[in-house]
Amino acid sequence: MNTARRRQSYDNRIDYGIILSVILLAIIGIISVYSTTTLIEGSDIRPTLLHALWYGVGAIAVIVVIQFDSEQYWKLSTYLYGFGILLLIAVLLFYDREMAALTGAESWFRIGEFTFQPSEVFKPAYIVFLARVVTEHNNRYTNRTLKSDWILIGKIMLFALPPVILIQMQNDLGTNLVIIAITAGVILVSGVSWKILVPGVLFVTILGGGLIYLAVFQRDLLLSTGLFQPYQLDRIDSWINPFGDTQGNAYQLVQSIMAIGSGQLYGKGLGVSEVSVPVRESDFIFTTIGENFGFLGGAILLLIYFVLIYQMVQTCFETQNEFYTYIATGVISMILFHIVENIGMTIGLLPITGVPLPFISQGGSALLSNMIGVGLILSMRYHHQSYMFTDNETY
């Protein structure tokens, strides 16, 4: 193979479209954090530099993740899941008391000046392991029946429950919703019969509606179960009627809606803000984009997200590897849920859950999790095309 053809083969292994999308999101994220923390809140530039540093760490993580192929991830999946569970247990014992007092969630380790949220990096480990569980099951039960589908769902629930319980013990409802979204996405494409999926969707819809009803009219009953905290139910109130308590529990949501709306079509300009929004640099970073760059800026951000997810789906179809398909589904479900939930909660369409905006919000653990997910997708094409590289002229 000559040098030109070898270089072309190498270029085919790298998905530059995904990389470009992430770079654009990184630029938007760094600018947004700078606008929020330095220009609007008057802080020094350290939060922006730290956010950029985490992007550097994430880029290194992507390079490392790409080096492993599907066979190696298959072998590592059980260990990754097990190590993730150990981290979720450890954080319950050694969580950062200061962060717990500030956020109400016992979800962070503290290492010097840095905090680390193990549930974030557990997500990609869970995705890889779940992909193996489904692939193994489908290879074993080649003739699908309702019985085999129920067995698959039972296996998935068996491995989904431990992290859900441990994360709920940390009072981190937002991360649990992401785990549930990942699980639901993988089940949806796993080949489970619609005779199970349709009743399942109806059940979840009725359950969700029932919980909302209890949160509004039978709050004491929900609190007595110990599964919910008062602040979580207060967020339901602020979601249903945000302008009914503008100076109390709904203050954050009302300010968020006002900030985004005040940006109108083109925004007020970088660093210009007339509306104060709590926790703006992390979970409510979209309010900065809406106020500074208006509807147009938000639309451009959504377009970049759409292109990124479209390219991920396209890469999945190109590789035609069942194990990779479920990994891609998990990563896409994770990122898509983050986007929908975060933007939905900032504009009042969904309850506030503390879910960050992917690649934009300040927060190293969440950014690292998303970058690892991108690395898993990039690994698909990278190793799918590796057969082109041989020591002779054949493929």
Tens-digit pLDDT profile for residues 242-287: 887 777 778 889 999 999 999 999 999 999 998 989 888 889 999 9
Asked whether the beta carbons of 312 and 326 are under 8 A apart, the reply is: no
Q: Is the pTM of this model over 0.75?
A: yes
Residue 229: left if φ>0, alpha if ψ -120 to 50, beta else—which one? beta
Return the sign of the alpha-carbon dihedral for residues 370, 126, 207, 174: negative
Asked whether the beta carbons of 214 and 221 are under 8 A apart, the reply is: yes
Tokens linked to 132: 């193996």
Q: How far apart are CA 188 and CA 190, in angstroms?
A: 6
Asked whether the beta carbons of 238 and 353 are under 8 A apart, the reply is: no
In the block, tokens 């192929």 appear at 69
Asked whether the beta carbons of 359 and 26 are under 8 A apart, the reply is: yes
Angstrom CA distances, 356 to 15, 123, 333, 338, stand at 25, 14, 15, 7
The closest alpha carbon to 380, from 328, 310, 306, belongs to 328
Burial 54-80 (b: 16+ CB within 10 A, else e): bbeebbebbeebbebebeebbebbeeb
Question: Phi and psi for 143 in degrees, rounded to 5?
Answer: -95, 100
The amino acid present at 317, given as its one-letter code, is F
Asked whether the beta carbons of 334 and 51 are under 8 A apart, the reply is: no
Q: Residue 228: helix, strand or coil by DSSP?
A: coil
- Helical ranges in the chain per DSSP H: 3-13, 16-34, 46-66, 70-94, 97-103, 118-140, 146-169, 173-189, 194-217, 219-225, 230-240, 251-262, 285-319, 322-346, 364-384
321-324: Cβ within 8 A, 24+ apart: 321/70, 321/380, 321/384, 322/135, 322/138, 323/70, 323/73, 323/74, 323/131, 323/132, 323/135, 324/70, 324/131, 324/380
Angstrom CA distances, 227 to 55, 170, 211, stand at 35, 11, 12
What is the chain's pLDDT, residue by residue, as a tens digit (395 residues)?
Answer: 444 444 445 556 788 899 999 999 999 999 999 999 999 888 889 999 999 999 999 999 999 999 998 899 999 999 999 999 999 999 998 888 887 877 777 888 887 777 889 999 999 999 999 999 999 999 998 888 899 999 999 999 999 999 999 998 888 888 999 999 999 999 999 989 999 999 988 998 898 888 878 877 777 777 777 767 777 777 777 788 788 777 777 888 999 999 999 999 999 999 999 898 988 888 999 999 999 999 999 999 999 999 999 999 988 888 778 899 999 999 999 999 999 999 999 998 988 888 999 999 998 889 999 999 999 999 988 887 554 443 443 33
Q: How far apart are CA 31 and CA 116, in angstroms?
A: 23
